[in-house]
Amino acid sequence: MKKSESGWKKPINALASRLHWHCHFIQKFESEHQMQWRPVNKAYSELSYPKIHCGLTVEERLTKWREGKTGYPLVDACMLCLVKTGYINFRMRAMLVSFLCHHLLLDWRLGVTHLAKLFLDFEPGIHYPQFQMQSGVTGTNIIRVYNPVKQSLEKDKEGSFIRKWLPELSEVPNEMIHTPWDLSPMEQQLYRCELGVNYPQPMVDINETGKIARDLLWGFQKRIDTKKESQRILSKHVRRAKKVNKLSPTNALINLSDQKVE
């Protein structure tokens, strides 16, 4: 196949881009392999996480996340699928990391090894940089706080993936399966899904926790020491171009001010 052949230019360019970023992250990990144990942006070593959050201890939060018992169907289904098969797609991996670090306010290092053990395609050069990027501790990337309900509605509208991995929700209708906590007591009996009995109540309120995480991370990203470290990272790992395409990965990488809710 050749780029000049009809229909092949876009997929070949996409493959070349993925190979480029694959090599970029592996080289970055080789250059700063300490990121296996500490943030690549050293300023984030001072970022503190609460021992109690939403009335839950660190161990309680971590255990519920690991076991797929958060009370958010897509999060739980993804974790159970990963445990069983060793694979979920990139967006769902990012959502699991975001839920751990943003909504549960847990240090990324508490979850990084757990997922590494589960991924059949584990590659440290990809895993550690991506984990830090998704947890928001690089200072050089857009802060993405994933909303698991929004992701569920967009990516599993009919609830087929959720039903496969959470059979206790199998009888809940499509319009309710993404937010089973909205079921009335009578509906819970009707659909054989009793919250707190065979499926957990949501462990946190993502509207509240999302705001807390954004305020914390955005405030930390504005610090002088964080910005100084960000410049060091960019100088070392990013080749500056005279003109940067607004939609290019490089432009996304060097954006120091954007926040995003997914």
3-state secondary structure the chain: CCCCCCCCHHHHHHHHHHHHHHHHHHHHHHHCHHHHCCCCCHHHHHCCCCCEECCEEHHHHHHHHHHCCCCCHHHHHHHHHHHHHCCCCHHHHHHHHHHHHHHCCCCCHHHHHHHHHHCCCCCHHHHHHHHHHHHCCCCCCCEEECCHHHHHHHHCCCCHHHHHHCHHHCCCCHHHHCCHHHCCHHHHHHCCCCECCCECCCCCCHHHHHHHHHHHHHHHHCCHHHHHHHHHHHHHHCCCCCCCCCCCHHHHHHCCCCEEEC
Percent of the chain residues past pLDDT 70, beyond the cut: 90
Asked if the model's pLDDT at residue 253 lies above 80, the reply is no
Percent of the chain residues past pLDDT 90, beyond the cut: 74
- 92-101 pLDDT per residue, tens: 999 999 999 9
Give the predicted TM-score (pTM) of the model. Answer: 0.85
- 62-111 pLDDT per residue, tens: 999 999 999 999 999 999 999 999 999 999 999 999 999 999 999 999 99
Chain mean pLDDT for the chain: 89
Tokens encoding 180: 């089973």
> pLDDT tier at 260 (50, 70, 90 boundaries)?
low
CATH class (in words) of the domain with range 32-261: mainly alpha
Side-chain-side CA neighbours of 207 within 13 Å: the count stands at 0
Q: Which residues contact 190 (CB under 8 A, 6 or more apart)?
A: none
